Structure 1
Amino acid sequence: MKEALYYTYEEDKIKCHLCPHYCLLAEGQNGRCQVRKVEDNRLITITYNQVSAVALDPIEKKPLFHFYPGSQILSLGTVGCNLKCKFCQNHNIVHDTESRTETITPKEAVHLALDYNSIGIAYTYSEPLVWYEYILETAQLAYQKGLKNVLVTNGMINPEPLKELLPYIDAVNLDVKAFTEDFYREICKGSLNPVKRTAELVYQDILLEITTLLIPGLNDSEEEIKELVDWIATLDISIPLHFSRYFPQYQLDIPPTSIDSLIRAKEIADKKLDYVYLGNVEGQEYRNTYCPKCNKEVISRNYNSVQINLDGKSCSNCGQEIKVIL
């Protein structure tokens, strides 16, 4: 356990300022994230150094398609989340705080990444931002060793702690669950506006990719997809967007997303965004990167390898610059 950052005293209670829930907690109570708790009149983080999952993954699995394509990254996760999505893909570790964990200190995590010859560390699986103190310390150490730091996050964090963390982060995959407040409130127990604010803070200086899991009848209408795409386009048309196929999980038993629905969403997004991908579907063409100017295939991805067909960072056919970090 470690004393948490970002909290204040409010009479006989403690208010957490890490995320927009602003949990007001009495002695012995846990926040909505389940992993920040008041003990001995302090806010502590009960998952500091506690890791529930460790793997060496292709960077494309995050998914990050424009950040060192073809590389491997050490992925770490713990337990806990400040949302309660009914369709949670990792509910077995996210919402089970009794899940078995092992102790890996920040120094050990960095040494592990170096031993694996990884490009760095991805904080993923559960919600990394509620693991804030561990990630901040680990990311700083990794940065000093020349390693990269990646967040795979729901984006539910307040601006001040986010701004403290971002100087040590190199890429973010932001999970935008939907583009309505109703969906966030009813399906995820959260809010859309803080997620949009996170994106607006991240994209200016850090490689940002966005993922949306399309769920039939809940967030896959053409109108909502257009609104999502329009918002991304106002930030930067070169932000990669991943539409991912939903399958029944956790508390949601709606049938899987149809392939036609995913293709239709991609067609809508392709009209305004340079890079749009489909996840959880067959078909290499939905994973490849194409030049936004001449449509030449510039990065080919299959499940075993990645082939980069660029002249530096430009299309070898027309010279168009491709937004990618190599």
Structure 2
Amino acid sequence: MPGESMREAEYYSSLENGSVRCGLCPHSCLLTEGASGICGARKNKGGRLRLPFHGFISSIALDPVEKKPLRRFLPGTKTFSVGFWHCTMRCPFCQNWEIAHPESVEERYLSPEDLLDMATASGAPSISFTYSEPCLHIEYVKECMVLARRRGLKTILVTNGAILDKPARDILSLTDATNVDFKSFSASTYRNILGGELEIVKNFIRIAHSNCHVEVTSLLVPGILDSPDQMEGIASCIASISRRIPLHITSYHPAFRYRKAPMSAGRMQEIAAPAFGLLEHVYFTRPFSD
């Protein structure tokens, strides 16, 4: 049933006059009747926070697990990959903007049971929640993760890490491996340009490390993450949790509202250099093509 007739969300509180306060991500949106959150995927209807796109799937593919990217979890295997719609952040260089910031949503609903039937039939040993921001659809993803574990599948979460402590702990307790985007070491860049909070992401990585296998990705973007000092800050932060957490350093391609040229391979190497002395596993890639 599409959206399960706008299923009620978890992680919110009811306020006076029918308003609600979302408790999923750092925006903590205060929503009056009929209003949607900054994400566009959680809405106040009748004094309750509803999920208009619950179970709406944007993408399904069978990917190499290394594409998530994960290099030290089930290497050499495929993973059944599932994407959703919308995002908790607003990165101007979004690499998946067609589904993260859509003008319209394709109403393709799959129940968790039907999705897991497809995942099982694929023969992959894992299911990945990926592409756009899966934590925005935490209610659906948690249901799927429970079913996946019952069927013997490993669960993978590819996320920006921009969710609050309680939902982070809930979803990571059901996660076998996660890759977390670490987009900048500047709190002001996170808040004012990306629509996130640096400390929230750092906390998410700490929680992840205590619950599951974790790897981190930093996308080198001109004007956002483009200096050795920033990379040293990111790598030092990761190392303070564990030097064994793998870091993937990649380059963006111009997309969405960002048209600056990608960095040269030489400049990427200069920026990445501090990470190699701080972490045991650093994977450096040239600008990617899909």
Matched, 1:125 2:131: yes
Whether the 8 Å CA contact 2:66–2:75 is kept in 1: the answer is: yes
Q: Is the 8 A contact 2:228 2:272 kept in 1?
A: no
CA RMSD, aligned part only?
1.4
Match of 2:215, SS? strand
Aligned to 1:20: 26
Counterpart in the other structure of 1:7:
12
Residue pair 2:95, 2:252 contacting (<8 A) in 1 also = no
Matched with 2:148 is: 142
Q: Which amino acid aligns with 2:232?
A: K
Does the 8 Å CA contact 1:59/1:73 hold for their aligned counterparts?
A: yes
**Is the CA contact 1:247–1:257 (under 8 Å) kept in the aligned structure 2?**
no
- Alignment equivalent of 1:86, drawn from 64, 67, 92: 92
Matched position secondary structure for 2:190: helix
**Does 1 or 2 have the higher relative contact order (CA < 8 Å, sep 6+)?**
2
Counterpart amino acid of 2:7?
A: K
Shift of 1:33: 1.0
Asked whether the 8 Å contact 1:121–1:147 carries over to 2, the reply is yes
Distance 1:38 1:117 in 2: 40
Deviation at 1:99, TM superposition (A): 2.8
Q: Find the counterpart in structure 2 of residue 29 from structure 1.
A: 35
What code does the residue aligned with 2:228 have?
Answer: E
Alignment coverage as a number of residue pairs = 283
Question: Could you tell me the TM-score, scaled by structure 1's length?
Answer: 0.84
Contact kept, 8 Å, 1:183 with 1:219, in 2: the verdict is no
User: Counting strand residues as a fraction of each chain, which structure ranks higher?
Assistant: 1
Equivalent pair of 2:58/2:83 in contact (CA under 8 Å): yes
1:207 corresponds to which of 166, 191, 213: 213
Q: What residue number does 1:260 align with?
A: 266
User: Displacement of 1:60 after TM fit?
Assistant: 0.5
Percent sequence identity over matched residues? Answer: 37
| C-alpha distance in 1 between matches for 2:221 and 2:172 | 31
The aligned amino acid for 1:5 is E
1:6 deviates by 1.1
Please state how far the C-alpha of 1:164 moved relative to its aligned partner. 1.6
Give the equivalent residue in structure 2 for 1:298.
Answer: none
Q: Is the 8 A contact 2:216 2:246 kept in 1?
A: yes
Asked if the contact 1:77/1:126 (under 8 Å) is kept, the reply is: yes
Match of 1:249?
Answer: 255
Residue number in structure 1 paired with 2:104: 98
Larger Rg: 1
Using the TM superposition, give the Cα deviation of residue 266 of structure 1 relative to its aligned residue in structure 2, in angstroms. 3.2
Using the TM superposition, give the Cα deviation of residue 271 of structure 1 relative to its aligned residue in structure 2, in angstroms. 0.8
Aligned mates of 2:136, 2:222 — CA distance in 1: 29
Cα distance in structure 2, aligned partners of 1:99 and 1:130:
15
Distance 2:148 2:108 in 1: 20
1:317 equivalent in structure 2: none
SS of the residue 1:123 aligns to: strand
Give the match for residue 46 of structure 1.
52
For 1:168, what is the secondary structure of its paired residue? Answer: coil
The residue aligned with 2:162 is 156
Relative to total residues, which structure has the larger helix share, 1 or 2?
2
The aligned residue for residue 165 of structure 1 is 171
Unaligned runs of 5+ in 2: 1-5
What is the CA–CA distance in structure 2 between the aligned matches of 1:161 and 1:107, rounded to whole Å? 22
**Matched residue, 1:231:** 237
Matches of 2:273 and 2:228 in 1, distance apart?
10
**Deviation readout 1:82-103 (Å, 9 max, x if unpaired):** 1000000111111115132411
Query: Counterparts of 1:280-295 in structure 2 under 5 Å?
Result: 280-281=286-287
Q: CA deviation at 1:280?
A: 4.2
User: Residues 150 and 172 of structure 1 are in contact (CA less than 8 Å); yes or no, is this contact kept in structure 2?
Assistant: yes
Q: Which residue does 2:194 correspond to in 1?
A: 188
Q: Kindly indicate whether the alpha-carbon contact (under 8 Å) linking 1:78 and 1:101 is maintained by their aligned counterparts in 2.
A: no
Task: Name 1:269's counterpart in structure 2.
Answer: 275
| Unmatched runs of 5 consecutive residues or more in structure 1 | 283-302, 304-326
What residue in structure 2 maps to residue 175 of structure 1? 181
How far does the alpha carbon of each residue in 1:160-190 deviate from its partner, in whole angstroms, 9 at most, with x for none?
A: 1121222210001000111111211232122
Q: What is the match of residue 224 of structure 2?
A: 218
Distance 2:195 2:208 in 1: 23
Preserved CA contact (<8 Å) 2:253 2:287? no
Q: Shift in Å at residue 267 of structure 1?
A: 2.5
